[in-house]
A and B are shown apart, each in its own frame.
Chain A
Amino acid sequence: DGGITQSPKYLFRKEGQNVTLSCEQNLNHDAMYWYRQDPGQGLRLIYYSQIVNDFQKGDIAEGYSVSREKKESFPLTVTSAQKNPTAFYLCASSSGTSGRARTDTQYFGPGTRLTVL
């Protein structure tokens, strides 16, 4: 978990609320990712960013939004449009995505558990 922090550790959301999950890294990595983990389903990619001010949808982007204004930060907003947001959310980073960096390891933060009340 070293080098990537996520906050809060636990988050509770009421119906109709937007909530924002924080992800910060001090690894000087260019690429950052958001995954959702549900029991028995492994991890699914929500959004990724290869560089500041650029991000792309992953496999399950509906109901989520992101921003990448700084290299170190990649916050995820879970909007009221996300119908089933209760899950464990994991942020990851890697040094890059192209050339030799394609083989680089993704390192993960400690996660945020979101529960809808």
Chain B
Amino acid sequence: AQSVAQPEDQVNVAEGNPLTVKCTYSVSGNPYLFWYVQYPNRGLQFLLKYITGDNLVKGSYGFEAEFNKSQTSFHLKKPSALVSDSALYFCAVRVPGGGYNKLIFGAGTRLAVHP
């Protein structure tokens, strides 16, 4: 079955330290992978995506993600966390094949950046 896992419900990090939010996937074929961020009572904002090419993808607000095919992972990273990065982060994978742009979402990871 196609699935996305975000193994951590919450990640805590001090401001200025590097952060990592983990994501692993299970799909058949080549995946298209996405990261979104959600602030309280708001919609999802697109951060970045991996389609093909370089395994390191750079996105909005200084975030980047590394695609690792052997480990089926797509971890989100930032070299120096800000308090304003505190939010709910979702990893999603587009299911290859089929007739429409279906995304499967992970359950989300809450990031808390402490001053």
Contacts and interface: CB of A to CB of B under 8 A. Distances in A.
Contacts of A56: 100
A97 interface: yes
B100 A97 contact: yes
Given A31-B101, A97-B100, A102-B94, A42 B107 contact: yes
B51 interface: yes
Interface residues of A, number: 32
Interface stretch (B41-49, B63-71, B72-80): B41-49
Contacts of B51: 103
Contact of B46 (A43, A48, A107, A110): A107
B25 interface: no
Contact count band on B: 20 to 34
A1 B32 contact: no
Given A42-B107, A102-B94, A103-B51, A97 B99 contact: yes
B102 A45 contact: yes
Interface of A: 1, 4, 6, 31, 40-45, 48, 50, 56, 88, 90, 92, 94, 96-98, 101-111, 113
